[in-house]
Structure 1
Amino acid sequence: MMADQEQHELSRLILELVDGYISDERLELLDRRLMESNEAMTFYCDHMKNAVLLKRRIQLYLASSSPCQDKRVWKALAISEKTAPGITLKRTKHRSDRFSDVVSDSTAKTSHISKLFLYSAILSTAAFMLILAYVNYWAPPATQSVATLVDSVDVRWALPSEAFNVGSRLKNRSHVPRLAEGVVKVAFDYGAEVIIESPAEFEPESAEKMILHSGRVFARVPGYARGFTIQTPYSAVVDLGTEFGVYVAADQTAEVHMFQGKAMLVAGPAGASSLHQEIKAGQSRVVLQSGQIREIPTRKNAFIREIFSQSGLLWRGEHIDLADVLGGGR
């Protein structure tokens, strides 16, 4: 079990990474800690799922609304002020300033101070930010654009209303797009890119998370977008700066194939996950409905890793030359 000092130092490294000012030396130290300790890796994943999402929710909240205009916060404080009982304060003996050596006794005095005043005096900036985060995070978030469809090849959507074109912005909490034919490339706002193969059903849950109900997805996640998550019916893959593929079959079992870097695989349905396992480059796992994780062979060419719409080329990791890209080929 990690000592308190180790947890404190690991927390500082993670926060530096999340805030974007971590140095190369500190980043190497963080990577080394995660590689050497499974406990540190689990701590990292838990911290990222909470701290990163909380920070980004606060940023989105402050960008879209002025805290002073949130009636839910101020209404609660106003009610508290009206109903607050008087508080008795007893003045204690004190030493006077340097111009007098006289020590005087002060009598007990009663003042009526509302709780609103006390809250204003006591609450730190961080605590108030947590109040705002609570209002926004636990309340249903508003529908917003979180990703962009940047490329596609031979696409047909299941419904005419889902006819997304290149350049279309994808919103969360709207509906579940069903890709009937073709391949699309989607860029999430926080930096991750995914290639989605038909047939597939997926949801862009947020700028750092997507839900894959069925189908095949390849994800490319740069270092600054670490923490990007692909949720499946019975598992989740939390990225640690990687390239990986996820396949959800008709029976809702999920395969995860790691091509570069590493990720944390969390088994079990959302809200009831308990089993964590780190997957490194060259390793692959399947998660059953029971929550069991089993090792499987890595299939290097099982996922489309890049698409070139001008030539119609679908690249699965095999060797190609420039003529293939310019002239076309599958």
Structure 2
Amino acid sequence: MDLDSIECVSSSDGIDEDEIHLHHHQSEFSSTKPRNGGTNHNNSTVPSAIAPATSVHELLECPVCTNSMYPPIHQCHNGHTLCSTCKTRVHNRCPTCRQELGDIRCLALEKVAESLELPCKFYSLGCPEIFPYYSKLKHETLCDFRPYTCPYAGSECSVVGDIPFLVAHLRDDHKVDMHTGCTFNHRYVKSNPREVENATWMLTVFHCFGQYFCLHFEAFQIGTAPVYMGFLRFMGDENEARNYSYSLEVGGNGRKLIWEGMPRSVRDSHRKVRDSHDGLIIQRSMALFFSGGDRKELKLRITGRIWKEQQNPDARVSIPNMCS
């Protein structure tokens, strides 16, 4: 959303899914907490690679995409193999000898694959797990060490990495505002509030409780009704996001709207969160009423705070932990 003016004050109080080609994006990752030592080219500590028997694993490496091959594994008349995905990419021509591939399956190599155990493809990001050849695919779709997608919306950003890397990426590449503290006070001004088509997200990153949170604000339409929406996302997994809560408040002319909920993990796309309406939604008529004046200009002030829920072991109840 191309807002004309933004003012921010922060106070300090899946199996069938395509594989992520880790070797193609290695330079985009900074490592998670190290487990077994070792160093990558980003000068970040990563676990040493788990080294399987190279001869067999080299046989299972597709010469085109260099990923491990899964059935159906194809071969040409000369015995050169490649994965089924790349078979269509090379227009049915062997990438090694250029002979026509045909429809020959390499059943022997498929049988060999069934007997192997392999490390998770995210081992360089910290995952220590080893799985039977076919089981690791299911694990990798849910692996806690799998990289996150850039949470910046309104663009087709395909950058992936761990949280520290993405925070730096948001700051340096997307020029996102960074704030320290668990309270916020945003003022949104837009001269033509009727423009909601092709709106992009406004994003601010907050750092508190040793974690990072993304505050989003967007204009879109529910049916034919234009609305504004604000919500918070947690830069981490869903199970960690449940440890936090937040509130948003907007008002004017003696009225106000208040939203309170839990932040959604950035594992959920911004569109998924938006379409679930899980946040503070302001109808345009109400937003203009809050703005005052002649109702031709949007002037919204949204305040909010983030807190951590702490368990009281004696009372067995949740006690909000406010940052100062």
Q: What range is the shorter-chain TM-score in?
A: under 0.3
Which of 1 and 2 has higher RCO (CA within 8 Å, sep 6+)?
2
Which is higher, the Rg of structure 1 or of structure 2? 1
Q: Structure 1 or 2: larger helix share?
A: 1
- TM-score normalized with structure 1 length: 0.25
- TM-score normalized with structure 2 length: 0.26
